[in-house]
A and B are shown apart, each in its own frame.
Chain A
Amino acid sequence: MNSESKFNFVKLWAWMSAAFIFPLIWVGGLVTTHDAGMAVPDWPGTYGYNLFLYPLSTWLYGPFDLLIEHGHRLLGSWVGFLVILLCIWAWNTESRGWYRWACLGLLGAVIAQGLLGGFRVVLDQRTIAMIHGCGGPMVFAYASFLAFAASSDWNRARPTLKANGLWRLSWVLFGATVTQLILGAQLRHALPYTTPVGFMSMVHLHLTFAGIVTLAVLGVFYLVRRPEYQTETKLRSPANALAALLLIQLALGVGTWMVNYALPWSETMPSLARYVIAAKGYWESMLVTAHQATGSLLIACSTWLLCRVGKRQSTLTSSRNSFTIPNAVDSMASEPTGAIRILETVE
């Protein structure tokens, strides 16, 4: 059991899992954009076939909504497979007990997502689709967290920071992006009987939180350049990534509104007056899906920021709440638990 071996498979595999969950989010987003959730009426089979045995030609040359829905399922199983391997590897090579459990946790989360997706189909419930849609980005953030926690920065970072501001702001940012995800899901999965007033409030809330996220990202961008954080140059990469993604996300958000509902200022500009929404257009659905996927990236990046700041936060070691302290979790979990001991004896 040695995480310092030359080639760290756990790290590679954690990255792989995260890297495959991201396209899964894209395809899932396309399923929502095209309202293709019920393109395959059964689950876990596909039209009575086993998931993996569904004829390739019928799938690839079949209707578009069936293509993406079945593709989403296949990709989902592939991710599940990757995460199972990750767990096996982690149990065999990873020395940090909490990390091994966390990998198992990821497996649980991936399975839960799969079940949710299945129930969405079996019960034809849009509410479940919404929860499944929120779950995706959270699982992605979780997998990214595992990847960050296996990174060399995680091992090397030393608690030097005394100021607390950035740490707090990072949590605010994380909370705001997650809230934004949930609000966005209310718009994307608006039920047919959602009232106009209810929908409008969600739009206003989504815009408000876009403001909060923007302020938080600007704050982070500014803080990492302040004297108290300046020495830790490693904090800048997540901050810069967040700023760049935010700009993209805001533009995509406006674009999403435009291709779904047209901009409200058609009386002010000839180009808007002439604009016709193209329903189910290729670029239009890509744009909408990109907004949702970039939202997930923002959550993952705020997780990244949390990891980088948290590992450097000296104030945390004296905090009473050990739950949020990665270092404390490290030391706490170094004592083998029941199950690990069993595994060790088996070995």
Chain B
Amino acid sequence: MRRFDTTKARVFLGNWRTVLRFPYSVPSIDLQRSSNPLLACFLMILAATRTHLPRNLAVSGWLATSGMLAVICLATGCGRSELGYKPNSLHAASLTREGTDQNPISIAKKASEVVETWFGNIDQPKWPTDQVGLADQVLRMDCVERCAGPVGRGIDKVERGLFRKHCVSCHGLSGDGLGPAAMLLEPYPRDFRRGTFKFKSTPVGKKPTREDIHRTLHDGIPGTAMPSFRALDESEEFAKDVEDLVHYVRFLAIRGEVERRLISLHVREGVELESNSQRMQEVLVQVVQKWADSPDDVLVIPETPDYFQTPSDDSDHAQRIEKGKTLFESELTACVKCHGPTGAGDGKSQDFDEWTKDWTILAGIDPKHPKDWKEMKPFGALKPVLSKPRNFHWGAYHGGKSPSEIFKRIVLGIEGTPMPPVARAHNGNPGLTDQEIWDLVYYVMHLEDR
């Protein structure tokens, strides 16, 4: 337990007096910064008990009070962990597993310190303007600031700490997907630090747009723990919250990816982990540029054919299904390999996602072998689980169930998972025509049990 600090107690008692001037009490938020005033309160209550109340006071009340307060003193006095972004030691560990004798923990810590000089800490995020210019191109820092830090309203009534309020229980403080509940969920919550997202309108290797992330937050992801924040989006009061959270997700992803790349630059090429190193700053610029808006990357979806809305007559319908089925089962698309002959998600090929392969296969670990992967558990690794191909019979589309969203998934693939993009006929390249892709969409949607 920390020493009882009398100056702090006096500060606290001073404030306490203002509290006692009840009707005109002033906001006493400053108190948050004095660390252990509870002890003072505990002593005060003990004193009050001794002087003002008869000694034979039996069971109840004050005893319970003192007990409770004693517990708090213990809990807050000794047990208070410092909040902060967690260093990415899992990445460091998987890179240093073979061939080096470097200590992953200390590497990760150093990288985290460098990143902190650019992006600030968990309560006060900032933008590396000196290195990469203004944030406007990529995200809005006022939104980011509103999402970071502890939950609550300031005296200006503006709500802050949105990420801790809505997301932290799954995605974790650093967006590492290791929030308290992570272990109990399947699929695991997204680790933003890889900068990889599944449901987006840009090709593999490109970053999702703001609208993509907004759509995920608005609709949620069915069959997973990712909630829909529609209620916030559609209420007048909290309407801005979701958009702000989108910016914070981007911030965490940028921050996390820079951190990862610094670690690998250090391990692979021996570049010193320092914030003024030229090479390190190049990495920073590269990552930030990837997130800058680039409308050119967004897939232009041809207009959804009418027959998706208005049911057509039987012969047309049967014909389209037949075409789609043939494509689905063809060698060219290989859909069957994963989704199975009936589209129940039970194909022969079952694989892990990139977030898992990142610290297993890339580090020479067999994810199927418990003895092997458990080696990484101390660094925060969770048990590898297969990335299951979708079962189309249930009609539960994770990226949105409109034909155009499914079109996007088939054309672009689902990044980070085994689901590949189809080859699309384009500028003379061979592949499926748009009409054929619509047929696939039609077939897949038709598989839903009704």
Q: Which residues of A contact B (CB under 8 A)?
A: 35, 37-45, 47-48, 50, 53, 62-66, 98, 101-102, 104-109, 111-112, 115-116, 119, 122-125, 127-128, 131, 135, 138, 142, 190-200, 203, 260-262, 264, 266-267, 270, 272-282, 323, 337-339
Contacts and interface: CB of A to CB of B under 8 A. Distances in A.
B335 interface: no
B61 A112 contact: yes
B46 interface: no
Given A44-B22, A196-B181, A276-B221, A37 B152 contact: yes
Given A102-B60, A128-B72, A279 B228 contact: yes
A41 B394 contact: no
Nearest to A139: B64
A103 to B, nearest CB: 9
Interface string B376-416: 00000010000010010111100000000000000000000
B32 A122 contact: yes
A279 B26 contact: no
Contacts of A323: 59
B26 A116 contact: no
Interface string B230-243: 11100001000000
7 contacts: A39-B159, A47-B155, A115-B65, A131-B75, A193-B83, A196-B183, A270-B394
Contact of B223 (A123, A131, A199, A266): A266
Contact of B183 (A62, A64, A197): A197
A264 B224 CA distance: 9
B128 interface: no
B25 A45 contact: yes
B223 A275 contact: yes
B155 A261 contact: no
A105 B60 CA distance: 5
Contacts of A142: 60
Contacts of B152: 37-39, 41, 124
Top 3 nearest A-B pairs (CB, nearest first) are: A105-B60, A38-B152, A108-B61
Interface centre among B28, B31, B61, B231 (most CB of A within 10 A): B61
Contacts of B41: 115, 119
A261 B68 contact: no
Contacts of B449: 270
A42 B61 contact: no
A171 to B, nearest CB: 16
A6 B361 CA distance: 81
B151 A38 contact: yes
B185 interface: yes
B71 interface: yes
B61 A107 contact: yes
Interface string B84-121: 00000000000000000000000000000000000000
A253 B418 CA distance: 36
Interface stretch (B165-173, B294-302, B430-438): B165-173
Contact of A108 (B27, B64, B80, B83): B64
Interface residues of B, number: 83
Contact of B28 (A42, A104, A337): A42
Contact of A273 (B62, B69, B396): B396
A35 B57 contact: no
B65 A41 contact: no
B26 A48 contact: yes
Contacts of A267: 388, 391
A158 B181 CA distance: 51
B231 A280 contact: yes
A138 B181 CA distance: 27
B181 A261 contact: yes
A268 to B, nearest CB: 10
Given A192-B168, A196-B181, A267-B388, A105 B59 contact: yes
A131 B232 CA distance: 29
Given A50-B22, A108-B64, A339 B54 contact: yes
Contacts of A47: 27, 155, 157
Contact of A190 (B59, B69, B169, B396): B169
Contact of A261 (B24, B28, B64, B184): B184
A44 B19 contact: yes
A41 B64 contact: no
A147 to B, nearest CB: 15
Contacts of A50: 22-25
B245 to A, nearest CB: 11
Contacts of A138: 64
A200 B28 contact: no
B79 A127 contact: yes
Contacts of B229: 279-280
Contacts of B394: 270, 273-274
B271 interface: no
Nearest to A340: B54
A44 B209 CA distance: 45
